[in-house]
Structure 1
Amino acid sequence: MKAIILFGHGARDIRWREPFDCLASLWQEQHPGTPVQLAFLEMMRPSLEEAVASLSAKGATDLTVVPVFFGQGGHLRNDFPVILKECRGKFPSLRLSATPAVGEDLAVLQAIIDFGARAL
């Protein structure tokens, strides 16, 4: 079974995660056959490892991690690959892949342009 993990930075303020919860809900509504789990780099739970474990327990074997970051900063270039490698080591029977940061996708950038244009 395929599943998706939406991976964000995390923050001290619990309200920061509200758009991520909304994003996960929208995913589940639009893709009910593909489980979704949030995961955070720091300050919030679940961690990436916890999200992988949760989805694995539900029968997922092919997980795609989508970094919900605007760009490839130090966390994605340095921290994320280490965490992903650790997860692959702890869950060798799973296929774990990752996409580039969402902010590097032209469609995402265009959606931001369209949002700004609507504000004019």
Structure 2
Amino acid sequence: MLIAHGSPDPDWRRPLEALRDQLAARIGAKRISLAYLAHPPTVEDAIASLVAAGETQICVIPALLSPGGKHVKRDIPEAVTRAHARFPTILLRLVPGALGSDSRVISALAEASLDLRKSR
């Protein structure tokens, strides 16, 4: 499951949906959920949906650029704790940090930035 900030704008959500779809294709997963902190589906709703679909182990990945904000430090862990209280038999594993702090993501963003600069 990927967690991001969220927006009502479909253009904002498209890159995260593409990430979800690529991840699902690469690992052969049938269900990878997206959850948002500021818009539905919430973390708890996305976990409830996965549980209803029969999932018993859920890996929660913060799809944010920086690990230094309140979402990674407070909001996401609190949401996962609430979900664990609601579904105590489900194994919920919160990946520490943020996806964007991985050196491979930083390198990919640098390359994309250079490519965009050249194309303008």
TM-score tier after normalising by the smaller chain length:
0.7 to 0.9
Counterpart pick for 1:20 among 7, 10, 16: 16
**Where in structure 1 are there 5+ consecutive unaligned residues?**
none
Counterpart pick for 1:92 among 73, 88, 94: 88
Look up the equivalent residue of 1:50 and give its one-letter code.
D
Q: Residue 71 of structure 1 corresponds to which residue in structure 2?
A: 66
C-alpha displacement at 1:15, in angstroms? Answer: 2.1
**Where in structure 2 are there 5+ consecutive unaligned residues?**
none
C-alpha displacement at 1:13, in angstroms? Answer: 2.2
Q: 2-side partners of 1:7 and 1:75: how far apart?
A: 10
Identity level (%):
30
C-alpha displacement at 1:34, in angstroms? Answer: 5.2
1:39-96 deviation line (CA, Å, top 9, x unaligned): 11112x2111111111112221111111110012112212111111101100101111
Counterpart pick for 1:32 among 23, 28, 31: 28
- When residues 25 and 33 of structure 1 are mapped into structure 2, their CA distance, relative to the original with a 3 A threshold, is closer
- When residues 33 and 68 of structure 1 are mapped into structure 2, their CA distance, relative to the original with a 3 A threshold, is closer
TM-score (norm 2): 0.86
Aligned 8 A contact 2:65 2:99 in 1: yes
Q: What is the total number of aligned residue pairs between the two structures? A: 115
- Structure with greater proportional strand content: 1
Q: Residue 111 of structure 2 corresponds to which residue in structure 1?
A: 114
- When residues 112 and 62 of structure 1 are mapped into structure 2, their CA distance, relative to the original with a 3 A threshold, is same
- When residues 13 and 33 of structure 1 are mapped into structure 2, their CA distance, relative to the original with a 3 A threshold, is closer
Look up the equivalent residue of 1:85 and give its one-letter code.
T
